[in-house]
Each structure stands twice: as C-alpha cells, then as structure tokens.
Amino acid sequence: MTSPINSTTDESGYSLVEVMVAIVVLTVA
C-alpha cells in the first residue's frame, strides 16, 4: 500500500499515522 504520507512501515503493518487516520474514519463513519 502506498500512502501519500511518509509511513514508518510500508512493507508490513501500518504506520502510527495510518492507524490514527483509520480510527478517526471509523469513529466518524
């Protein structure tokens, strides 16, 4: 997965930023 944001972990797992964004999306949705 290629993210526009600099991810600490691209190959395996999600970066802290991606996790935070996912939580926000799930909360709003």
Using an 8 Å Cβ cutoff, are 9 and 15 in contact?
yes
Q: What is the pLDDT of residue 24?
A: 93
Per-residue confidence (pLDDT) for residue 16, from 0 to 100: 77
The full DSSP string for 1-29 is ---SS--S-SSSS--HHHHHHHHHHHHH-
Question: How far is the C-alpha of 18 from the C-alpha of 25, rounded, in Å?
Answer: 10
Tell me, what's the pLDDT at 19? 84
Q: What is the pLDDT along the chain (29 residues), one digit of tens a residue?
A: 555 555 555 555 667 788 888 899 999 97
